[in-house]
Amino acid sequence: TDKELLGFNKLKYKQKPFLLLEPNPVTFYFSLAFDAVSQLDNARALFKETLEDQMTPNVVTFSYVFKVASVGVIFSFFALEAFMNQMLPDYALINYDGKLVSKDKIQRFAPFDDKINRIIPNNCGKDFGKKYPKKMTTILELKRMRDELTHLKEKRKNGFTSYDNVYQDVLDLNLRSIVATVKLFINFYYPGLIRNYQNKTTIK
């Protein structure tokens, strides 16, 4: 266009070639998390019904809650981490701990906390954590939950049950707040990248 250069993917589907104006996969990850908000509401409502109906095995409906909550958490984190990697410059070295390093090394070796609290703010010239300290707490909670769901480490307290904490976290999860915070973070550094589409869920 007169103002920007756009990229197209040259792809094939069942041997039929086509061109696709390259979309940002961050928006795909976010849309999965976004859809999970209303799905989790429905899953919890169904689970609540089973608590009042002893003839229905709660483990089946709980697995639905767990599935949807996991999708929401994991893809919220995917969107966040992929976006931060996109914010790193492709053709310039980055000052990290007094050394100039490449984007590849930051992506592979820098801890998440360093990326979100130091590298991205320094590179972008503004700091989400300083402007929204409570929202940053939500992001750190998202990171903790993602780690718990990814690794599922056994924590036996009474010799029998292993996952009391993670299951309770799933039941207590405020996915709506997490998704809204991820959207705010991304649009803070890249205004307008995340836009809601039409469905029953609203994330402000």
pLDDT of residue 32: 96
- Tell me the two tokens of residue 178: 């997490």
- The amino acid sitting at 65 is V
Q: What is the pLDDT tens value at each position of the chain, 204 positions in all? A: 788 788 999 999 999 999 999 899 999 999 999 999 999 999 999 999 888 877 666 888 999 999 999 999 999 999 999 999 999 988 889 988 888 989 999 998 899 999 999 999 999 999 999 999 999 999 999 999 999 999 887 666 666 667 888 999 999 999 999 999 999 999 999 999 998 766 555 555
Q: Are residues 79 and 182 in contact, defined by beta-carbon separation less than 8 angstroms? A: yes
Can you state the angle between helices 25-51 and 58-86, rounded to 10 degrees? 160
Residues 85 and 99: their CA atoms lie apart, in Å, by: 19
From the list 125, 127, 45, 36, the residue with the least C-alpha distance to 77 is 36
pLDDT of residue 1: 76
| Residue found under tokens 């599935």 | 67
**pTM value?**
0.87
Q: Are residues 107 and 86 in contact, defined by beta-carbon separation less than 8 angstroms? A: no
User: Which residues, in sequence order, are CB contacts of 96 under 8 Å at separation 6+?
Assistant: 106, 110, 114, 118, 119
pLDDT of residue 152: 80
pLDDT of residue 171: 94
